[in-house]
Structure 1
Amino acid sequence: MDLFDEIFSAMRVESALYGRLAASAPWGVAFVAEPEVRFGMVVRGSCWLTSAGLNRPMALTAGDCYIVAPQVAFSLRDDPKSPTCPCTQVFHDRDGDEVSFGGGGQTADIVGGCFFFDKAGAEPLLSMLPPVLRIGMDSTRAQALQSTLQLIALETAEPALGSKLVVSHLADILFVQAIRAHCLCDARVTTGWLAAYTDRRLGAAMRAVHGDIGRDWTARALADAAAMSRSVFARRFKEVVGETPLGYITRWRMYKAKCLLRQSDLPLGAIAEKVGYATDAAFSRVFARHVGKTPGRYRRQGADTCA
């Protein structure tokens, strides 16, 4: 399975909240930092997105989409200097999925919401998100993303039988499209696992690893897969990824183990074997050191969270 297919399969958008804001100038809505990913699209009109994660206010016009990473506070407003009202106050008394708010001037319609993920499965993608991601409508992939958001906008504007289920599935597709557009269009991605994966030589080693994560990988085998000397490969890998090759493999094994513990009924021994450990004891020691709890406890807590 391709690395991205593996991550997207494990990511699991468990649910999505959504709504539609019909705003009129002057207006401003402040959203506090939350553990979820927030998303939105300007359906009509224009607005500004401001956040401590941005160097300057971000202009959004009709058709533009935005993704806000977890734990990032932000505001939407008609003008960067307009005062804001807390989102909890704006949406507190809403009737249905649409809220009208503002002073009665120039209008803007925005559809948006938030994703609730399986935290273990979404970890690699969430870690590479910038604080705020804007996706303009100037590419074919971005237009596909816009089409998905337009379907969400339609379902929120004209709810019908099964609308909540439809929106939940569309939100899943939307996030995959947004990440894909970011990966393909953002030339600034020069470090991290994504940069290594798209590098010709480092990518060859990473594809080998992710094709057989349970193999007894050595520094020599990894360098051979990349067609590089051991020393050059180790240095280049750490420069790009930020950790040693074997450290990266261990971290990815723990990621895969967490997904299997939360999303499958496989016994501990089978999971240990899948991620490259000959015994339950060896796996449990490494897991506890990296995650801070035993595999059994992690699985039980995951089940309690989902119950």
Structure 2
Amino acid sequence: MTDPLAQIVSLLQPDLSYAKFVEAAGRWRVRRVEDGRAFFFAALEGTVLLDVRDEAPLLIEPGDFVLIPAAYDFTSSSTHSALPTGLNSMPVEIKPNVFRLGDQTCDPDVRMLVGHCAFASPDAALLVSLLPLLIHARGEPRLTTLIQLAVEESRGERAGRNVVLARLMEVLFIEALRSCGPHCPSGILRGLGDERVAAAMRAIHEQPAAAWDVPGLAKTAAMSRSAFFERFRRSVGKAPIEYLLQWRMVLAKRLLEDGKLSVAEIARQVGYSSASTFSVAFSRHVGASPTIFARRRSYGDLTVRGSLLQHEPVSAFG
């Protein structure tokens, strides 16, 4: 059986290797104005206040894992009740990959792993749009174990430390997505947490070329057409056929990137009766014809609408 979450994570191609170990003491605050890159935060010791634009302030406790799939404006700070107005702490690198915030003389009372997650997918913007604005996982035994492993690894100086941390963070990413699904307001995780909606989503992922329509998907979900449409739209945040179209375009981009099939063959694999019909749909969705998209990708032009690869190293808070 096809696993939609595994497919999406696989297509996103997350790279969590840009992680930094941060410790802090006393009063401190760091504000980041980002450009839509994903930001992750694993709390190892102590509590931190995370304030993300358009979200309620969040108290992060030891063992918590937070992922902001597309970060633009957020602030991390100590939990002291009275922080000086305008305080903006500058991280100090005390040794390779380890940064210090706040009081540089006291023993740290906060330790965390933070960093950026780069997505190598040419359609990362669309895939990220299927995820919640903020993912906060807490009280998950598997996550707690992974974070404890990350603590031990981050404190050691063993060979391959950065590689091990990167792999641990990848697993944390997937576990966090699994754990927060039922609590998400909408998106693919919420949809997969609904047995009826998930049945339709799995059908789309298993047979993207099938001639799906709302009645057919409703039958798969064992629901009436109107009830299914509303439940799917409310859970996933998109109408069923809109989700189907977007998933087909994701697959089409991947096949065009591979360069192994003709446009006509790709059209058939993603559910279009002819190359011309597929080309019209693809051009409307992507802003470039399949041929032009494939040519741009082969020459390394990453400016096609909805696609921007970001592989920059990060400082203490990304």
Give the structure-1-normalised TM-score.
0.82
Q: Matched residue of 1:85: which SS?
A: coil
The answer to whether 1:270 aligns with 2:265 is yes
- Offset of residue 131 of structure 1: 3.8
Residue 100 of structure 1 is matched in structure 2 by: 100
SS of structure 1 residue aligned to 2:175: helix
Q: Secondary structure of 1:204's partner?
A: helix
* Alignment CA distance shift 1:219-1:19 (3 Å): closer
Amino acid across the alignment from 1:282: T
Tell me what 2:116 maps to: 114
Task: Name the CA distance, whole Å, in 1 between partners of 2:227 and 2:58.
Answer: 41
Residue 12 of structure 1 deviates from its aligned partner by 1.0
Structure with more relative contact order (C-alpha pairs < 8 Å, separation 6 or more): 2
Query: Displacement, 1:94?
Result: 5.4
The aligned residue for residue 181 of structure 1 is 179
Please, which moves more after superposition, 148-157 or 108-117?
148-157
Distance in 2 (alpha carbons) for counterparts of 1:131 and 1:222: 27
Give the corresponding residue for 2:24. Answer: 23
Contact 2:63–2:143 (Cα < 8 Å) also in 1? no
Q: Give the whole-Å Cα distance in 2 for the aligned partners of 1:12 and 1:108.
A: 30
The residue number in structure 1 matching 2:247 is: 252
Post-superposition offset of 1:180: 0.8
CA 1:231–1:274 in 2, change beyond 3 Å: closer, same or farther?
same
Question: Any conservation in 2 of the 1:22–1:99 contact (CA below 8 Å)?
Answer: yes
- Please report the RMSD computed on the Cα atoms of aligned residues, expressed in angstroms: 2.9
Distance 1:99 1:234 in 2: 49
In the alignment of these two chains, the number of paired residues is: 295
Letter in 1 for 2:88: C
Farther off after superposition, 25-34 or 217-226:
217-226
**1:52 and 2:53 matched:** yes
CA distance in structure 1 between the aligned counterparts of 2:279 and 2:217, rounded to whole angstroms: 25
Structure 2: segments with no counterpart, 5+ residues:
303-308, 312-318
Decide which moves more: 99-108 or 116-125. 116-125
Residue 98 of structure 1 and its aligned partner are, at CA, apart by 0.6
Contact 1:7-1:121 within 8 A present in 2 as well? no
1:127 maps to 129
Q: Larger % of helix: which?
A: 1
Residues 7-51 of structure 1 show CA distances to partners (whole Å, capped at 9, x for unaligned) of 122121135211111211022222222332211222222222223
1:121 Cα offset (Å): 5.7
2:200 partner amino acid: A
In the TM superposition, what whole-angstrom CA distance separates every residue of 1:121-141 from its partner, at most 9, and x where no partner exists? 6556522444443322x2xxx
**Which residue, out of 264, 280, 285, partners 1:290?**
285
Q: 1:207 aligns with which of 194, 199, 202?
A: 202
Equivalent position amino acid for 1:53 in 2: D
Q: Which moved more, 1:23-32 or 1:165-174?
A: 165-174
Cα distance in 2 for partners of 1:59, 1:243 equals 30
Shift of 1:183: 0.9
2:231 and 2:63 map into 1 onto residues whose CA distance is: 40
In percent, how many aligned pairs have the same letter?
Answer: 27
SS in 1 for 2:50: strand
Q: CA deviation at 1:116?
A: 0.7
2:52 is aligned with 1:33: no
1:155 matched to which residue of 2? 153
Alignment partners' CA distance in 2, 1:64 and 1:239: 28
